[in-house]
Structure 1
Amino acid sequence: MNIKNILLVSPMYRELQALIEKEAPHKSFRFMPEKELSQDDLSWADALVSFNLKTEYDYSTVKWVHSLGAGVDRFLHKKDWSQEVLLTRTICSFGQRISEYCLSYILKDLQLHDRFQEQQRQKIWVQSTPKLIREQKVLVYGTGEIGQRIAEVFSGLGVNVYGVSLGGKEKAGFTKVMTLDTHFSVLNEMNYVINTLPLTDKTEKLFDDAIFSGLSNAGFINVGRGASVDDNALLQALTTNKIRFAILDVFEQEPLADSNPLWDHPRVQITPHISAITTPSEGAACFLKTLKNIDDNRLLANKVNTNKGY
């Protein structure tokens, strides 16, 4: 594949330009924010580097699209994709960042931070015993790169980590991996549930009454995609204590609308899609490595299966 003209569209385009342009002097680049992007720019380009564009574009005019994020649903979900166009994604520290994000909230829960903070506010001295993480069971939806890193980190602390994937293939770090059809029997045993799944036709609104009703006072963390969760089912699960608390980093519509009831729910904590942010240095490094592999006709570990959506 001959890649000469490369269009990079991102809010951090200036930082990326400083890191990329000098490393690929034999290429022609255009760096810009999305508000300056036109279809003419896409017609000029052999490759597009971007993430989460808000407007619909015709990507069939380029040879290669590289996502600056791990997710590619903005390019693929409910869209036609030309099989002639290569799609790759960023692989960097996402697994580690998301593992630490999830671990921080689970440890906060086990160590009773909120309870002791409230007791401090009221000047109450009452001892309660924190729980041990090694006594917990965690169910991770998605056993790809990010899910595997969560399993590695948590199992290293003695946690029994269970996985759910489309194929149910066993993976290192997981006590057991099940399919979407076979995992319902273990739901009520789980202390915490973590979603890392990409958004596809099979995962859209996956977390509905059928899954939430099987849980029993569990903590729920969503670091996958917001559209994988039925918000009404989640709110009902919180009301009935199927879910004890929810940590939500991703939403179907971002930013989350002011009118959304999740903002004000006392057992919901919202973060603004920061569990795995692409830094300019990591984004540039992955792009440059992928570009070199394409130029050298090497195997691409970050190539997306556009039929599967991940």
Structure 2
Amino acid sequence: MNIENILITGHIYKEMESILTSKNLSKQFRFLKEDVVSHDDFLWADAYVSLSPTANFEFGNVKWVHSTGAGVDKYLFERKWDERVVLTRTIGSFGQRIGEYCLSYILKDVQMHDEFARLKRQKQWRQAEPRLLNTLHVVIYGTGEIGQEIARILSSFGIRVSGVSRSGKAAKHFEDVLKSEDVPDLLMDADWIISTLPLTKQTSRLFNGDFFNQLNGSGFMNIGRGGTVDEMALREALRMNRVRKAILDVVGVEPLPETSWLWEHPDIFITPHISAITSPEEGVECFLQTLSKIEKEEPLDNQVQVNKGY
């Protein structure tokens, strides 16, 4: 595939412009703010590069779309895709970043940081015994690249890590992997549930009342997509102590509105979708590697299977 005209927009387009301009590539680029991208730009471009489609996105003459993030639900979820167009995503240090994010909250929990902070405020000297990591059982939904890296990091501390996937096939660093319909006993035993799932028709509101009713006081962590969680069902699960605390790096509406009840709930911890931010340097590196492979017609390890949504 020959790529000559490349349209780059989105949240890091200016940083990408600075890096790419210094490389003197033999390509034509347009670096544009999202709200000024026009119909003519889509007719001009062979390739479109951004975290998400613009409000007026159209395929035009685009042959290749590259997401500057790991997820592609903004391109595919409840959208019709032109299957003649190649869709790729950014891969980089996401797994390590997310793994360390998850580990930080698990350590905070077992070392009882919140409890000892409360006792300090009350000026109480009261001992309590932190748990050891090797006594924990973590269940990760999604056993792909990111899920495997989280599992590697957690299992290196002796944590038992189970996985849940559509196929139930074994995956690296997981003690066992099951299909979602086979997990009731697994969930009852889980200290933490971690979701890395993309947003697709199959995963939309997967974590609903029926799911949460299977838990027995687990912690719940979502670093996949907010639309996979029924937030009102999560609220009820917290009230019923089916879930004892929730760590949400993604939510259904982002940015999270000031009026959302999620901000106020004492057992919910919110971070603003930062567990795996794409740095401009990583974004450019993956884009250039993918561009080279596309033009040489080499296999793409980051091509999205559009029919699956990831």
State the match for 2:141 in structure 1: 141
State the match for 1:120 in structure 2: 120
Name the SS for the 2:91 alignment partner. Answer: coil
Task: Report the Cα offset of residue 209 of structure 1.
Answer: 1.1
Match status 1:6 vs 2:24: no
Across the aligned residues of Structure 1 and Structure 2, the Cα RMSD in angstroms comes to 1.1
Q: Normalising by structure 2, report the TM-score.
A: 0.98
What does 1:1-310 align with in structure 2 at a 5 Å threshold? 1-23=1-23, 25-53=25-53, 55-59=55-59, 61-310=61-310
Q: State, as a whole percentage, how many aligned pairs show the same letter.
A: 49
Name the SS for the 1:62 alignment partner. Answer: coil
**What letter matches 1:192 in structure 2?**
W
Task: Report the Cα offset of residue 24 of structure 1.
Answer: 5.4
Q: What do the CA deviations read for 1:187-232 (whole angstroms, capped 9, x no partner)? A: 1100000000011000000001111111111100000000000011
Q: Which segment is superposed worse, 52-61 or 216-225?
A: 52-61
Name the SS for the 2:181 alignment partner. Answer: coil
Cα distance in 1 for residues equivalent to 2:212 and 2:19: 45
Name the SS for the 1:23 alignment partner. Answer: coil
Cα distance in 2 for residues equivalent to 1:189 and 1:297: 47
Seen in structure 2, the aligned counterparts of structure 1 residues 115 and 293 have a Cα distance that, compared at 3 Å, is same
Give 5+ residue unaligned stretches, structure 2: none
Name the SS for the 1:61 alignment partner. Answer: coil
User: Would the aligned equivalents of 1:20 and 1:288 in 2 still touch at CA under 8 Å?
Assistant: no
Name the SS for the 1:124 alignment partner. Answer: coil
Task: Report the Cα offset of residue 61 of structure 1.
Answer: 3.1
Name the SS for the 1:269 alignment partner. Answer: strand
Cα distance in 2 for residues equivalent to 1:14 and 1:3: 21
Seen in structure 2, the aligned counterparts of structure 1 residues 56 and 180 have a Cα distance that, compared at 3 Å, is farther
Give 5+ residue unaligned stretches, structure 1: none
Task: Report the Cα offset of residue 183 of structure 1.
Answer: 1.3
User: Would the aligned equivalents of 1:209 and 1:233 in 2 still touch at CA under 8 Å?
Assistant: yes
Task: Report the Cα offset of residue 22 of structure 1.
Answer: 3.4
Task: Report the Cα offset of residue 60 of structure 1.
Answer: 5.2
Name the SS for the 2:180 alignment partner. Answer: coil
Seen in structure 2, the aligned counterparts of structure 1 residues 151 and 70 have a Cα distance that, compared at 3 Å, is same
User: Would the aligned equivalents of 2:38 and 2:56 in 1 still touch at CA under 8 Å?
Assistant: no
User: Would the aligned equivalents of 1:60 and 1:82 in 2 still touch at CA under 8 Å?
Assistant: no
Q: What do the CA deviations read for 1:52-77 (whole angstroms, capped 9, x no partner)? A: 34515112531000000000000001
User: Would the aligned equivalents of 2:142 and 2:196 in 1 still touch at CA under 8 Å?
Assistant: yes
Q: Normalising by structure 1, report the TM-score.
A: 0.98
Task: Report the Cα offset of residue 25 of structure 1.
Answer: 1.6
Seen in structure 2, the aligned counterparts of structure 1 residues 8 and 290 have a Cα distance that, compared at 3 Å, is same
Seen in structure 2, the aligned counterparts of structure 1 residues 35 and 121 have a Cα distance that, compared at 3 Å, is same
**What letter matches 2:272 in structure 1?**
P
Seen in structure 2, the aligned counterparts of structure 1 residues 274 and 149 have a Cα distance that, compared at 3 Å, is same
Seen in structure 2, the aligned counterparts of structure 1 residues 57 and 6 have a Cα distance that, compared at 3 Å, is same
Task: Report the Cα offset of residue 20 of structure 1.
Answer: 1.8
Cα distance in 2 for residues equivalent to 1:180 and 1:59: 36
**What letter matches 1:237 in structure 2?**
A
Seen in structure 2, the aligned counterparts of structure 1 residues 189 and 42 have a Cα distance that, compared at 3 Å, is same
User: Would the aligned equivalents of 2:222 and 2:249 in 1 still touch at CA under 8 Å?
Assistant: yes
Cα distance in 2 for residues equivalent to 1:126 and 1:52: 50
